[in-house]
Chains A and B, each alone.
Chain A
């Protein structure tokens, strides 16, 4: 199975790239990586309609048939939304293959019933809250990556981090990723904004910075580790899928040292 199954397209030469780019904006909420990098796009098929527009059919696949259905639904619905936003496309069909809830999710997407319409009594809530949980985790991990890189490559120390602003971070992918995740959560993104903030965007006090950073590291390791697991499982389930996977943006070519840890965890809960 290859990632790109392109039917000859006359409507627009640029369209296949646009389709791929649109799918590349869809993130696995838990792994915080694009589904195109993860190899979750099994195929996409384009069919000119004769009126200058194009029908598209996209098949998605996941590492196991037991991937949590709420995540599966989020991914499939986001893919449909991203493609529907392209003016050149007429009919958009997104299919989730080989999942225990494939039938439910596929018919739900086709009918446009939304998450609650799809799962009825099983879905007490909308998915907004779940999405926010993972946006916060993605931000926490991105914040840790930025701080850890700075500690490794500059004279900044953990003790100084409470004064660190976005302007102090070097330009590059790590900082861009952090800013993007702050924007997702509605946090300040101006150059003077403090980097070390909590899950609600509030500055972390000087004495709490070491613990916040230490916990953020655990969050990052958790997210990255889960991505290792899911990438491996996908390749086990679909031999050859590893060729459809792009290296993780978070996997440095040369393993780098972790940032130092502050003293033992405080046992005073802040939640």
Chain B
């Protein structure tokens, strides 16, 4: 829980990882390039006081609980692992370690697993076993993952649809999809979010969380999410812009609130890309700059509460103490935040 100016916030970090990118786990040069790319994100968008050493960044299991829960105000966090077996001997995300932590702290941690539909029938069997073992409520998909000769797949591919049908029958209702910057594949356009549109229409009983709010395809994501009520946006990678480019972040969050509304935006630190402490503190204090209002409405406290934790808690049935809920007025119907009006400011 985070408290500021008398307001209390229930915090769910909807996207964290426990990775091992140490040299002994790197399978090839791409394993090094991949973590170096992450480390550049970390260095580029973090405040100087929050920078980690490169060595620490490669592996950090000993500090995860402290960073998230002791220092970071997080009430509940959700693992969203990436496997990346072509780059790392034992995979990038560390299943057993993350699962052990989850078992030790079931009130604080949820473990989502990953699958790759290109594993066909065998992978489908494995998904059934994993769903039972981990009690999966969600899954993380990395459509740009390498797999033999393939450099990616689409959610609408036939095998992918079979896996989603399995998710439906197994009660895995939250499908997190990485749609982010600067990762391949090749002509299967890594940034294209159109395949989310396709499956969201066909699987209306599943929730699709587009991580990184589709950046650098924010507009495509917004357009899809406007049409499909079961599409959500995770703020990973977008939210650190509060620090380096606050006006740009104001535009992003303004666009999201306009197109998809306050009920479908999820806070994510993408730990250990960034630590949640400064993100939570900064977001609670963040406001749309005055000269950008009323084009973008000011962000309200209730909106912050929903984004920081209540929206994700609802998706994952995480209990929230009553005093941390948003107290809706009796006649208030939750709707997307009001759109800015049509008035033209006098130049």
Contacts and interface: CB of A to CB of B under 8 A. Distances in A.
Q: Do A and B come from one complex?
A: yes
Contact of A232 (B34, B45, B217, B247): B45
A124 B150 CA distance: 12
B55 interface: no
Given A236-B40, A264-B336, A225 B248 contact: yes
A125 interface: yes
Contacts of A153: 347
Contact of A260 (B41, B186, B343): B343
Contact of A265 (B247, B259, B341): B259
Interface residues of B, number: 57
Contacts of B291: 255, 257
Contact of B186 (A122, A228, A255, A265): A122
B251 interface: yes
Nearest to A220: B219
A64 B182 contact: yes
Contact of A225 (B44, B184, B218): B218
A218 B336 CA distance: 17
A229 B44 CA distance: 9
B147 interface: no
A118 B284 CA distance: 49
Contacts of B37: 64-66
Contact of B245 (A70, A124, A228, A263): A228
Given A67-B182, A228-B248, A261-B258, A124 B227 contact: no
A226 B215 contact: yes
A260 B344 contact: yes
Interface in B275-311: 289, 291-292, 295-296
Given A157-B344, A257-B292, A130 B215 contact: no
A7 interface: no
B226 interface: yes
Interface in A118-172: 119, 121-125, 127, 130, 137, 151-154, 157-158
Interface string A242-264: 00000000000001011111111
Q: Which of A69, A125, A222 has the largest number of chain B CB atoms within 10 A?
A: A222
B74 to A, nearest CB: 25
Contacts of A224: 248
A258 B40 CA distance: 31
Contact of B181 (A123, A226, A258, A261): A226
Nearest to A218: B219
Interface string B215-229: 111110011001100
A237 interface: yes
Contact of A66 (B33, B245, B259): B33
B216 A261 contact: no
B101 interface: no
Contacts of A235: 44
Interface string B236-252: 00000100110110011
Contacts of A262: 339, 342
B218 A221 contact: yes
Given A100-B30, A152-B345, A225-B215, A65 B36 contact: yes
Contacts of A269: 227
A259 B347 CA distance: 10
Q: Which of A66, A235, A255 has the largest number of chain B CB atoms within 10 A?
A: A66
Nearest to A121: B149
A63 interface: yes
B44 A261 contact: no
Nearest to B29: A100
A225 B34 CA distance: 22
B106 interface: no
Contacts of B295: 257-261
B287 to A, nearest CB: 15
A158 B343 CA distance: 9
B11 to A, nearest CB: 25
Given A100-B33, A122-B149, A258-B295, A69 B184 contact: yes
B128 interface: no
A133 to B, nearest CB: 8
Contact of B189 (A70, A214, A217, A261): A70
30 contacts: A63-B40, A64-B37, A66-B37, A66-B182, A68-B185, A68-B186, A68-B191, A69-B186, A100-B30, A100-B33, A121-B149, A122-B187, A123-B187, A152-B345, A210-B342, A218-B259, A219-B219, A221-B255, A226-B181, A229-B44, A229-B215, A233-B41, A235-B44, A255-B289, A260-B295, A261-B295, A261-B342, A264-B338, A265-B259, A271-B223
Which are the 3 A-B pairs with shortest beta-carbon distances?
A: A226-B216, A222-B218, A218-B219
Given A152-B347, A260-B344, 20 more contacts: A66-B34, A66-B37, A66-B184, A70-B186, A100-B29, A100-B184, A123-B187, A218-B222, A222-B219, A225-B252, A228-B248, A233-B182, A237-B40, A258-B295, A261-B295, A261-B339, A261-B341, A264-B258, A265-B259, A271-B223
Interface of A: 30, 63-70, 100, 119, 121-125, 127, 130, 137, 151-154, 157-158, 210, 214-215, 217-219, 221-226, 228-229, 232-233, 235-237, 255, 257-265, 267, 269, 271
Interface of B: 29-30, 33-34, 36-37, 40-41, 43-45, 149, 151, 181-187, 189-191, 215-219, 222-223, 226-227, 241, 244-245, 247-248, 251-252, 255, 258-259, 289, 291-292, 295-296, 336, 338-345, 347
